[in-house]
């Protein structure tokens, strides 16, 4: 049995901001997470367990073991490991979101330790830090931890005995997900030793994906079920994390804007696309603007038997009503003024390949009729021509409209709707797949750094925070635009900050912050609305203040008295309002008599 490699020749240092603390053999202090523990609520009547706003499950560890075995034996170890790792990744991302929401100090390594503690709170494993460094702005991360008594490892050993591979898949996914969401760039944790291999404890190391030079093996388990399975590993891993190292890869990625993502929602989409690709079935992509429907349609074409044929895309909304028919079906010489020569439409040009019709919902009624005929009978007629032309085209359509509602309103033909709706695929908006945001951030950062010959180092904590909190009404396209702007505006070799990303006016919802035009986060205009929200924000504020006090104040030598705090608050408010008591009372949110009472009491105490 090998000993855990505790330090592995590394100097055990804990870098907090600019100070480097040597820990010797003392494990570092974990921050107080009393506020997080207080957020675990058991609601027996409802049958709910909550960790903050996330519903949780209290599950038997042994049941998880059985579930793992079913997956391994039913799907094979590779697939099972991927699924389980990504479940963990999802959990880690959710927890990082919660930590961010609680407004903990995100510049320091403390946030990562909070993640470790949440992992402990959730019963996965005892975590002991060995070394950790973090610099969000520079994109630097290094984390080394010991895992003692891993639940997952124990269950694996129970069923399979000691083996040659690490087995804490869900947990390694959790660590990677938490750190990635925390850093705003993909971080990969690796288990260098595992109790399932006979080690006394598991030992994990985490670094940004770009800093690993042999990460392909693990990336396979983290990556979404990309459309490229079956191609080489380097191809698939680069499509997931945009971690291309060779120029050709980079070039191809920059050109093709490959599909990236790791979330469950995105996985489901990829699965459906792969299942339908080798058929000739008409596919309908549904989803908001900017979710990447065209990229998916293109990928579907590339993995279909028609990949050698052309991929022709047309955005129906971008072409005037009067021209759409001739664009789609072609035009015969003399059909109308200006038609001085015959030309092919998109259908004919897509012959033998795939035709992608974006924003199909706004197609005119006549064009809808012709499209229906093309789909049903595989023939088209050019405008101004009565000759039928046979076509061999697979149609993939997309819309952000509710087509059923359009049918009801009489704007869309019902028969065409049924013809198109054979295989609908809903692409979730970015706000429903937040775990993909760090991946996109990194992807577009690299893309625009290369394209614009810039060297932005990464994102500031504030920027990561804003990106992850933002609602993304424009989805991936909006995120791409933000990062393009960020890369241009960021200082050379510096980090992209909120001021570089947000042009102003965008609101970060779901938290008591809004963006001002200078890029700073402000609480005005977006204060918590409900009373309970206000109370919890205040609770957090007080907790933070108290924890700061408890770090710096020795209670025995310096008594902090409640009344002193009240006095300080009142006198500062009165000073700020130039001695106007009514204004000071308003500022403090108390009545004027109450403020007067405070002064009387103070006077009494002083004279007494
Ligand atoms: Zn392990």
How close is the Cα of 117 to the center of ligand 1, in Å? 17
Report yes or no on 107 lying in a domain.
yes
Please state whether the predicted TM-score (pTM) of the whole model is above 0.75: no
Q: Are residues 112 and 217 in the same domain?
A: yes
Pairing of strands 283-286, 311-315: unpaired
3-state SS, 28-72, equals CCCCCCHHHHCCEEEECCCCEEEECCEEECCCCHHHHHHHHHHHH
Q: Are residues 409 and 319 in the same domain?
A: yes
Whose CA is closest to 228, among 190, 201, 207, 256?
256
Q: What is the dihedral of CA 15, 19, 24, 27, to 10 degrees?
A: -50
CA distances 107 to 138, 186, 464, Å, are: 12, 17, 11
CA distances 285 to 239, 359, 399, 423, 489, Å, are: 21, 10, 7, 9, 35
pLDDT above 90 for 153: yes
Phi-psi region of 263 (alpha: psi -120 to 50; beta: other; left: phi over 0): beta
CATH, residue 491? 1.10.8.60
Report the DSSP beta bridge partners of residue 354: 311, 394
Evaluate whether 282 touches 470 at the Cβ level (below 8 Å): no
If one counts the domains in the chain, the total is 5
Q: Are residues 239 and 279 in the same domain?
A: no
Give the pLDDT confidence score for residue 595 in this predicted structure.
80
pLDDT (tens digit per residue) in 269-278: 888 888 899 9
pLDDT above 60 for 580: yes
How close is the Cα of 26 to the center of ligand 1, in Å? 23
Give the 3-state secondary structure of residue 483: helix
CATH, residue 35? 3.30.1380.20
Evaluate whether 98 touches 52 at the Cβ level (below 8 Å): yes
Q: Are residues 215 and 284 in the same domain?
A: no
pLDDT (tens digit per residue) in 436-465: 888 888 889 988 999 999 989 888 877 888
pLDDT band for position 240 (50/70/90)?
A: very low
- Residues near 405 by Cβ (< 8 Å), separated by ≥ 6? none
pLDDT (tens digit per residue) in 517-546: 444 444 433 333 344 444 544 554 555 555
How close is the Cα of 167 to the center of ligand 1, in Å? 5
Q: Which residue has the tokens 């945001």?
A: 437
How close is the Cα of 195 to the center of ligand 1, in Å? 5
pLDDT above 70 for 119: yes
Give the 3-state secondary structure of residue 192: strand
How close is the Cα of 150 to the center of ligand 1, in Å? 6
Stretch 348-357: mean pLDDT: 95
How close is the Cα of 36 to the center of ligand 1, in Å? 26
How close is the Cα of 151 to the center of ligand 1, in Å? 9
Report yes or no on 579 lying in a domain.
yes
Give the pLDDT confidence score for residue 177 in this predicted structure.
93
How close is the Cα of 84 to the center of ligand 1, in Å? 14
Q: Are residues 269 and 394 in the same domain?
A: yes
How close is the Cα of 154 to the center of ligand 1, in Å? 8
């Amino acid at each position: 049995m090998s000993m855990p490699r505790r330090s592995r020749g590394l100097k055990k240092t804990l870098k907090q901001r600019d100070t480097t603390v040597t820990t010797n053999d003392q494990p570092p202090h974990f921050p107080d997470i009393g506020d997080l523990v207080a957020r675990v609520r058991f609601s027996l009547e409802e049958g709910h367990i909550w960790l903050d706003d996330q519903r949780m499950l209290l599950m038997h560890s042994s049941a998880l073991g059985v579930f793992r075995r079913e997956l391994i034996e039913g799907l094979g170890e590779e697939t099972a490991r991927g699924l389980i790792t990504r479940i963990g990744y999802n959990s880690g991302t959710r927890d990082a979101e919660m930590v961010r929401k609680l407004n903990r100090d995100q510049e320091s390594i403390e946030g990562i330790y909070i993640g470790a503690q949440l992992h402990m709170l959730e019963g996965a494993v005892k975590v002991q830090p060995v070394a950790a460094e973090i610099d969000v702005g520079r994109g630097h991360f290094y984390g080394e931890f010991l895992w003692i008594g891993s639940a997952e490892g124990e269950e694996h050993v129970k069923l399979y005995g000691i083996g040659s591979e690490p087995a804490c898949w869900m947990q390694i996914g959790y660590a990677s997900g938490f750190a990635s969401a925390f850093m705003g760039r993909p971080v990969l944790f690796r288990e260098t030793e595992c109790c399932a291999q006979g080690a006394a404890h598991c030992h994990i190391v985490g670094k940004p994906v770009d800093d690993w030079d042999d990460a392909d093996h693990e990336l396979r388990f983290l990556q979404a079920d990309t459309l490229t399975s079956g191609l080489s590993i380097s191809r698939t891993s680069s499509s997931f994390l945009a971690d291309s190292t060779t120029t050709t890869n980079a070039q191809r990625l920059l050109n093709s804007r490959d599909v990236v993502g790791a979330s469950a929602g995105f996985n489901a989409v990829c699965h459906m696309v792969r299942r339908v690709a080798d058929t000739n079935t008409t596919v309908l992509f549904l989803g908001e603007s900017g979710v990447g429907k065209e990229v998916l349609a293109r990928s579907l074409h590339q993995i279909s038997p028609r990949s050698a044929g052309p991929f022709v895309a047309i955005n129906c909304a971008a072409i005037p009503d009067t021209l759409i028919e001739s664009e789609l079906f072609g035009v015969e010489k003399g059909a109308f003024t200006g038609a001085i020569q015959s030309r092919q439409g998109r259908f004919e040009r897509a012959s033998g390949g795939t035709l992608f019709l974006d924003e199909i919902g706004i197609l005119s009624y006549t064009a809808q009729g012709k499209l229906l005929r093309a789909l049903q009978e595989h023939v088209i007629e050019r405008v101004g021509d009565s000759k039928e032309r046979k076509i061999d085209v697979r149609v993939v359509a997309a819309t952000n409209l509710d087509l059923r509602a359009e049918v009801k309103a009489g704007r869309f033909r019902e028969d065409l709707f049924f013809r198109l709706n054979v295989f609908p695929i809903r692409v979730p908006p970015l706000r429903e797949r937040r775990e993909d945001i760090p991946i996109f951030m990194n992807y577009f950062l690299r893309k625009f750094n290369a394209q614009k010959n810039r060297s932005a180092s990464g994102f500031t904590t504030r920027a990561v925070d804003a990106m992850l909190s933002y609602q993304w009404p424009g989805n991936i396209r909006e995120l791409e635009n933000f990062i393009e702007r960020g890369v241009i505006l960021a200082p050379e070799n510096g980090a992209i900050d909120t001021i570089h990303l947000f042009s102003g006016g965008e609101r970060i919802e779901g938290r008591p912050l809004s963006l001002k035009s200078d890029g700073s986060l402000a609480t005005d205009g977006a204060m918590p609305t409900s009373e309970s929200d206000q109370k919890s924000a205040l609770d957090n504020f007080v907790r933070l203040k108290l924890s700061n006090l408890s770090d710096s104040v020795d209670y025995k030598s310096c008594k902090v008295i409640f009344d002193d705090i009240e006095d300080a608050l009142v006198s500062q408010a009165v000073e700020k309002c130039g001695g106007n008591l009514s204004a000071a009372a308003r500022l403090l949110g108390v009545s004027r008599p109450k403020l007067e009472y405070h002064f009387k009491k103070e006077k009494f105490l002083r004279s007494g």
